[in-house]
Amino acid sequence: MAPPATAIKGTVFSIQKFSVHDGPGIRTIAFLKGCPLRCRWCSNPESQRSVPELAYNRDRCLTFDNCIRCLEICTPGAIHRDHDDRPRIHWDLCTQCLLCADACPSKALTVYGYEVTVGQVLDEVERDGAFYARSGGGLTLSGGEPLHQPAFAVALLAEARRRRLNTAMETCGHCRGEDLLAAAPHLHTLLYDVKIMDAALHRQYTGVSNELILDNLKRVRAALPQLPITVRTPVIPGINDDAAAIAAITDFIAGIPNLRYEMLAYHRMGKPKYGYLGRDFEISEPSLAEGSLTQLKKMVRQRHPHLDLVE
């Protein structure tokens, strides 16, 4: 006998309550781990790899004066004493055994990602049910790319619907079309990223071409003409914050019926997390120029007066 859908396992790196900016009402976001894209500006670098991974925030370390648990437990010798009496991690030696994180009292060493079942995620999500009832909120799947774990994501959404939860999903669109079409019927809202129209630039900045993404968008629209879909563009300084880049995107989506469009201002909040993972943050541009989003919105409104633009 097949195991029940609620027993299907997947890997998430966070379940966050009280989200008020991603979908209607007060929501809970389940962040699924693993992403086929490597966007240079990604604000959740811990979302990219599929498996749980070690993170190290040196600011939280109590220093070796107070504690050497990690040093003692690390058999591959990946943890060394740094000049400020804190660990320095030799990432190339780290085997991701994660024992140091378990030993660390202050959570300077932690693990991004853990395995859970569909049932466990939804039990956690339902704990805020009283708030969804009044606000129209519910579950948002995010990531990473939720459809990077297609069976898990689809089972989550199907079971959420069965439990009468409002469902939303954020996707980068780079997934198998069948998977998207399997997930979409269980959704109340789809949030779909279109980042750059130029295929070569898209590949340069995200690691993949955008053909599959654009094609999937058309397919899901055709398959489910009534599903509310909001196309979103993270506006990144120096990459797609010019009128031409945004015009290209809106020209494309204006040709597809019944899409909302939203531009999101880039933020650098994810930057420290690159350090925690022993990685470099490749983007050095400062924040968006003041007023640039307003300018871009104005341009879009003039160019596509009938496009449903999120203010």
Nearer Cβ to other proteins, position 50 or 106?
A: 106
Q: Which lies closer to other proteins via its Cβ, residue 20 or residue 200?
A: 20
Q: For residue 67, state whether it binds other proteins (rule: CB under 8 A).
A: yes
Instruction: Single out the segment in contact with other proteins by CB under 8 A; choices: 76-84, 104-112, 144-152, 248-256.
Output: 104-112
Asked if 20 touches other proteins (CB under 8 A), the answer is yes
Residue 289 interacts with other proteins (CB under 8 A): yes or no:
no
Q: Identify the three-state secondary structure at position 6.
A: helix
Cβ contacts of 225 within 8 Å, gap of 6 or more: 257, 258
Show the tokens assigned to 209. 């071409």
- Interface pick for other proteins out of 12, 26, 89, 109 (rule CB under 8 A): 26
Query: What is the C-alpha separation between 22 and 192, in angstroms, rounded?
Result: 12
Closest CA to 13 of 119, 154, 122, 114: 114
Q: Which of 8, 10, 11, 22 binds other proteins (CB under 8 A)?
A: 22
Question: Which lies closer to other proteins via its Cβ, residue 21 or residue 306?
Answer: 21
**Bridge partners of 286?**
none
Tell the burial category of 11 from Cβ atoms under 10 Å away from its Cβ (0-12, 13-18, 19+). Answer: buried
CA–CA dist 167, 143 (Å, integer): 15
Which of 191, 119, 117 lies closest to 162, judged by CA?
Answer: 119
Task: Kindly state whether residue 83 participates in binding other proteins, applying the rule CB under 8 A.
Answer: no
Candidates 131, 252, 274, 281: give the one binding other proteins (CB under 8 A).
131
Is 111 one of the binding residues for other proteins (CB under 8 A)? no
Q: Look up tokens 């990946």; give the residue.
A: 78
Q: Segment near other proteins (CB under 8 A), from 10-18, 79-87, 88-96, 198-206?
A: 10-18
State the DSSP string of 184-230.
GGG-SEEEEE---S-HHHHHHHHSS-SHHHHHHHHHHHHH-TTS-EE
* 272 near other proteins, judged by CB under 8 A: no
106 binds other proteins (CB under 8 A): yes
User: How many CA within 13 A on the CB side of residue 138?
Assistant: 22
Toward other proteins, which CB reaches closer, 128 or 159? Answer: 128
292 near other proteins, rule: CB under 8 A: no
* Binding of residue 29 to other proteins (CB under 8 A): yes
* Nearest alpha carbon to residue 233 among 284, 293, 274: 293
Nearest approach in angstroms of CB 196 to other proteins is: 25
Among 191, 182, 142, 153, which residue's Cα sits nearest to residue 42?
142
The answer to whether residue 127 forms part of the interface with other proteins (CB under 8 A) is yes
Residue placing its CB nearer to other proteins in the complex, 3 or 21: 21
Contact call for residue 69 and other proteins (CB under 8 A) = yes
Residue 133 contacts other proteins per CB under 8 A: yes
Residues that bind other proteins (CB under 8 A): 16-22, 25-26, 29, 62, 66-67, 69, 105-107, 127-128, 130-131, 133-137
